[in-house]
Amino acid sequence: MALRAPGRRREPRRALSPLPARVTREELSAAAAFAPRDFGNDPAGPPPESAGPLAYAPLATLRSGILTGHLGGPWLGGFPRYVWHRSGDTVVEFRLTGRRPGEYTGYELHPSEWPEGLADHAS
């Protein structure tokens, strides 16, 4: 009798999802928080010139992504798991940290990782 490996659960491809009923982007934006990722960098030092939109205003970038409706499910604790912000040829993905409701961390995506439909949206 052959044993089968348990099925793997792969996250679905990144895709924009609609806003649930009775939820407004303005309320989500106001409640969202940004938690920087700590990779041992010196927080007192200036960010590198190539750091992109997260270097100087990560919370404003997160809130802009929410207000433009670049959201992706599943929804957890009243917040979308993903928020994306596009600025020119750069897309930043914000992901719920799971520590507190509405707390996100963020990072830039390679163009091949952009959510379906986001390339069609101008920033």
**pLDDT tens, position by position, 20-74:** 999 999 999 999 999 987 655 555 555 555 555 565 689 999 999 999 999 998 9
Q: Compute the C-alpha angle 32/26/76, nearest 5°.
A: 45
Q: Which two tokens stand for residue 64?
A: 């802009």
Write out 80-108 in H/E/C secondary structure: EEEEEEEECCEEEEEEECCCCCCEEEEEE
pLDDT of residue 99: 82
- Between residues 57 and 119, the one the model is more confident about: 57
Confidence of residue 10 (pLDDT cuts 50, 70, 90): low
pLDDT of residue 14: 83
pLDDT of residue 121: 60
Three-class DSSP category at 2: coil
User: What's the whole-number average pLDDT of the chain?
Assistant: 82
